[in-house]
Amino acid sequence: MEFGSVAPTFPPIGETIKIAKRLEEKGYDAIWFPDHLMGWYPNDLWKETPFYSRYKSCHMFYDAFCQICYAASYTKKIKYGVSVTEVFRRHPAVLLQQAITANHATDGKFILGIGAGEAENIVPYGINFDKPVERLEEALKLIKIMLDADYGQTIDFDGKFYKFKDAVFDLKPIEKLQIWIGAHGDRMLKLTAKYADGWIPTTIPPELYGKKVEKLEKFANDREIKKALFASVVVDDDKMEVERLLKTPILKVHALLLSSEFYEMLGYKHPFGKFYGLLHYIPTKYKKEQIMEAISKIPDEISKISFISGTPEEVRDELEKYEKFGCEHVVLWNLTYFGDLKKVKRSYELIDEIVKSF
């Protein structure tokens, strides 16, 4: 199983090079860059964290593609991925131009992670967030047409969302452009099976991951697709400390991002009713009091399934379950120190030890 880690998003940008080089030296396979305009936390809640003294906002993100091109020349082996972009903020031709530029900058070691989109990066900016899966499907079809076009060949395309007339797209990747899709529902899994080289869902329980692998392989009909996982991790030497961290407000927010189906599956109701965080959650709409009231209704059982959490041995055991279900690449997003800033150094040491054990 391969392992990746998440790139820094806060200034200064020089940290990107530093972290990429360090991860490569440690033997990590990839570094992944979030493509966001907005973070997950309401401003009022962020102000009460230890991070606020240094970072006045959690909504500071570099452009992922620029950040990758900036850092790529400082490493030799590590892969660079976007986790994940969408086709609302970037027209497919512009997105493909950026992706192939990153493909060249990394000597072909670039992965274009793409999904249906997250409301927080789209709706507040006046962009119509309509029919996300249908739009993504048409964009993927158009991207394939552009990649397959001969030099100088004009492209005409009359779609529902995108229209080309006498267009050209002649910039080609130096190595095959890897496209991985962040898919969870059946329709998105079908798109992954048809258009993608890899599948990269967010944290879901191992058994559910296994069921989705079965569906993906059925839809793919023997077509080879790399199976990955973007995993939120909370780890500590002390099991009681892990339980304490999972109860902190800043980490319980992540349980709000889960679909209400997860709550119902375990016999609970989502604090916001019928809700799917990635499609509906916009943190700037909420005051601290509203968020605190919502997270007070989140059972510990639900908060726990938002993460892979526990002692190093427990986290390793969980990762082995995913491996048995066919997972080949795990992106480890360390959120431990969001619950307690004093845990930053030790939590990364523990994650390094877990990775080495594989």
- Virtual CA dihedral for 9, 10, 16, 20, nearest 10 degrees? -60
Residues sharing a CB contact under 8 Å with residue 59, sequence separation 6 or more, in sequence order: 37, 38, 39, 43
What digits encode the pLDDT tens for the residues 21-72?
A: 999 999 999 999 999 999 999 999 999 899 999 999 999 999 999 999 999 9
E-assigned strands of 128-266?
A: 155-158, 163-167, 178-181, 198-199, 226-235
Measured CA to CA in angstroms, residue 239 lies from 95, 184, 261, 339, 356 at distances of 43, 30, 28, 14, 21
For residues 287 and 290, what is the distance between their CA atoms, to the nearest angstrom? 5
What digits encode the pLDDT tens for the residues 119-133?
A: 999 999 999 999 999
In the prediction, which pLDDT does 179 show? Answer: 98
Residues sharing a CB contact under 8 Å with residue 128, sequence separation 6 or more, in sequence order: 88
For residues 195 and 147, what is the distance between their CA atoms, to the nearest angstrom? 12
Domain parsing of the chain, residue ranges = 2-236+307-357
What's the fold here for domain 2-236+307-357? Answer: TIM Barrel (3.20.20)
Q: How much is the mean pLDDT over the chain?
A: 96
- Cβ atoms of 272 and 280 within 8 Å: the answer is yes
In the prediction, which pLDDT does 33 show? Answer: 98
Q: How many CB atoms lie within 10 A of CB 307?
A: 24
Measured CA to CA in angstroms, residue 270 lies from 209, 261, 264, 267, 299 at distances of 21, 8, 8, 10, 10
For residues 194 and 196, what is the distance between their CA atoms, to the nearest angstrom? 6
Q: What is the DSSP string of 263-327?
A: HHHTT---TTSS--HHHH--GGG--HHHHHHHHTT--HHHHHHTSEEESHHHHHHHHHHHHHTT-
Q: In b/e form, how buried is each residue of 139-177, taking b as 16+ CB within 10 angstroms? A: bbbbbebbbebeeeeebeeeeebbebeebebeeebeeeb
Q: For the chain (length 358 residues), average pLDDT per consecutive 10?
A: 96 97 98 97 91 93 98 98 97 98 98 97 96 98 98 98 98 98 96 98 96 98 96 98 96 94 93 89 93 95 95 98 98 97 97 97
In the prediction, which pLDDT does 279 show? Answer: 84
Name the nearest CA neighbour of 91 among 9, 146, 154, 171.
146
Name the nearest CA neighbour of 262 among 314, 298, 315.
298
In the prediction, which pLDDT does 77 show? Answer: 97
Query: Which H or E run contains 92?
Result: helix 92-105
In the prediction, which pLDDT does 82 show? Answer: 98
For residues 302 and 265, what is the distance between their CA atoms, to the nearest angstrom? 10
For residues 4 and 287, what is the distance between their CA atoms, to the nearest angstrom? 34
